[in-house]
Amino acid sequence: MEHKAYLDYAATTPTDQRVVDAILPFFTERYGNANSLYALGRDAARALEDARERVAASIGARPDEVIFTSGGTESDNTAIIGLATAGGRATGHVIVSAFEHHAVLEPAWWLGKHGFDVTELKPRTDGIVHPEDLAAALRDDTVLVSVMHGNNEIGTLQPVRELAAAAHARGALFHTDAAQTLGKADFDVTELGIDAASFSGHKIYGPKGTGALFLKKGVRMAPYLMGGGQESKRRSGTQNVAGNVGFATALEIMDAERPTEAPRLAALRDHLVERLLGEIHYARLNAVDAATRLPHIANFVIPGVEGEAMLLHLDAAGIAVSTGSACSSGSLKPSHVLLSIGCPVEFAHGSLRVSTGRFTTEADVDYLVEKLVPIVERLRSMNPLYEKTVAELVGAKG
Amino acid sequence: MIYSEKVMEHFGNPHNVGVIEDADGIGEVGNPVCGDVMKITIKVDDDRIDDIKFQTLGCGAAIATSSIVTDMAKGMTLAEAVAITKNQVAEELGGLPPAKMHCSVLATDGLKVAVDDYLVKRGREPIAGEIKSSDPHFDPHEDDDEDHTH
């Protein structure tokens, strides 16, 4: 059988077998509702609180600062809307970075339609939101700032500690979306000095539909899901005990393996970047000047090809990657992340995101480059403007 | 969004790829900012399309619609060729996802421009009519209400 290479770990990860083993008893044997008083319920409640303590320990929080949710999107939505509207507030200024995930952008835009003033703060071309740019955007009426910890498309790590400090200096709360970084980079809420953070289980070999929101003790937040008052009234709904146990288990494995896994992935990424840039003419790494980046994400522009066509040919060779081309999203515009860092539109259509993980080997990365080289050649030979594009690229360099 | 088998066939092994060097008519449509560019070259004999080739920068649907439209047009009279509609192109491919219907407009437009280019070069009246994709206000998603997904 032909080699298969899954290189889209930033989209999702397979659930680790150790996580599956930890979860299974909670479906058929330890199935109690964690809010029931009898023994079966108490058993579930103990498992849930144990999971909460394990997550809290990993991120340097108190257990009562961890709210289990259904994942990154719910945590982001809850934080953005719940923090801005806490205590019945109906007006104020909110700042989000322009390259946030849509799980942050959409609720921010919703706030913009419902009485709030919203600023989308641009990162610089290095893929970093600079604290001095945030300081300049902050106002006396700024209530909330949200800047992601690590960007999911280009993999740049943001100076969250300095950004949070800038927000606090003007009296604003600070939230960070850490869905892409939890378990992959150091993350300690006290050290970062943040008020809220969003996490996702399925990005770290946990089950889909799991995650958490960190909310600093004493910070007011309007609940997003209302009902039975679970999670200290901050997230109603019967807790997903199996999922939360899986999330906590997955996070512990990430933490235990990070000292060896992070450098291994960084070396794989560097190998990929070197080979791909060496073997594909005019290819370049997006946000190449970033001072800090995640070890598992590399985003390339391959001029003269369209991303979806590249992705489909790679799929036919058993390789899974992703692209920021408009065609892959069903919208007309290519990736808002690439556009926000100044990538020209026509190049953003030809972007390729490769993200590696626990089961990626050097053979997978080499296989990608081997297959990609002839695909790019073929697509470029079919591109009526390729010679013109090359002339422009060469001209721009000279 | 899932492509039909026919789309994947034409995308994977497109027909009539290339450029006719001594072409009688050339049609270039689209622009790289939108992510789609198509160039069709034709040879005409007795007002019939004798040979046709294409080059396309674009997604799977853009390449597949280019391929199928060149298959369809080969051997047609010029009048028949410019009458090919985007829906016929989509039907020939076993349907296109709604968000990709504009790709079939690009393909039919490329053909129309090539035919008119031939006619005008010979001092004759153009016959293709409206070229939707060259209109700066062309909204490729305008006709998305029509469902061609099955």
Average pLDDT (B134-143) is 56
CB contact under 8 A, A332 and B33: no
The total number of structural domains in chain A stands at: 2
CATH number at residue A315: 3.90.1150.10
Beta carbons of A332 and B57 less than 8 Å apart: no
Contact B35 A349 (CB under 8 A): yes
Give how far Cα B60 sits from Cα of A327, A359, B8, B19, B64, Å.
9, 29, 8, 20, 6
CA distance B87 to A327: 20
Single residue among A253, A281, A313 that ends a domain in this structure: A253
Same domain for A267 and A244: no
Q: A200, A219, A253: which is the final residue of a domain?
A: A253
Cβ atoms of A150 and A184 closer than 8 Å? yes
Q: Are A196 and A145 in contact (CB under 8 A)?
A: no
Q: Tell me, yes or no, whether A269 and A388 share the same domain.
A: yes
Are A249 and A322 part of one and the same domain? Answer: no
Using the 3D structure, point to which of A211, A226, A253 is the last residue of a domain. Answer: A253
B126 touches chain A (CB under 8 A): no
Element at A313 (helix H, strand E): helix A307-316
Owner of token pair 């697509």: A379
Each residue's pLDDT tens digit, A43-78: 999 999 999 999 999 999 999 999 999 999 999 999
Cα separation, B91 vs B146, whole angstroms? 12
Taken in order A286, A288, A292, A293, is the CA torsion positive or negative? positive
Do A230 and A274 belong together in one domain? no
Q: Which residues of chain B lie closer than 8 angstroms to A383, CB-CB?
A: 37, 55-57
Helix (H) / strand (E) element for A278: namely: helix A241-279
In 10 A of CB B120, how many CB atoms? 12
A319 and A233 within one domain: no
* β-pairing verdict for A297-301 and A116-121: unpaired
Distances, alpha carbon A90 to alpha carbons A94, A106, B66, in Å: 12, 17, 52
Q: How many beta-carbon contacts under 8 Å exist across A and B?
A: 72
Q: Which of B44, B84, B103, B115 is catalytic?
A: B103
How far apart, in Å, are the Cα atoms of A374 and each of A7, A73, A100, A369, A380?
19, 38, 34, 9, 10
Is A58 found in the same domain as A77? yes
Are A227 and A318 within one domain?
Answer: no
pLDDT of res. B150: 34
Domain containing residue A354: 5-12+258-397
- Of the residues A327, A369, A373, A390, which is catalytic? A327
Answer yes or no: B103 catalytic: yes
Residues A263-294 have pLDDT tens digits of: 999 999 999 999 999 999 999 999 999 999 99
The per-residue pLDDT for range B44-65, each reduced to its tens digit, is: 999 999 999 999 999 999 999 9
Stretch 270-329 of chain A: residues touching chain B, C-beta under 8 Å: 304-309, 312-313, 316, 325-328
Question: How much is the ipTM here?
Answer: 0.90
Smallest CA–CA distance, residue B61 to chain A, in Å, is 9
Which CATH number does the domain housing residue A142 bear?
3.40.640.10
pLDDT at A45: 98
**Minimal C-alpha gap between B130 and chain A (Å):** 22
Do B60 and A304 make contact, defined as CB atoms within 8 angstroms?
no
Contact A383 B37 (CB under 8 A): yes
What residue spans of B5-140 are helical by DSSP H? 5-12, 60-73, 78-82, 86-92, 101-121
A337/A180 Cα distance (integer angstroms):
14
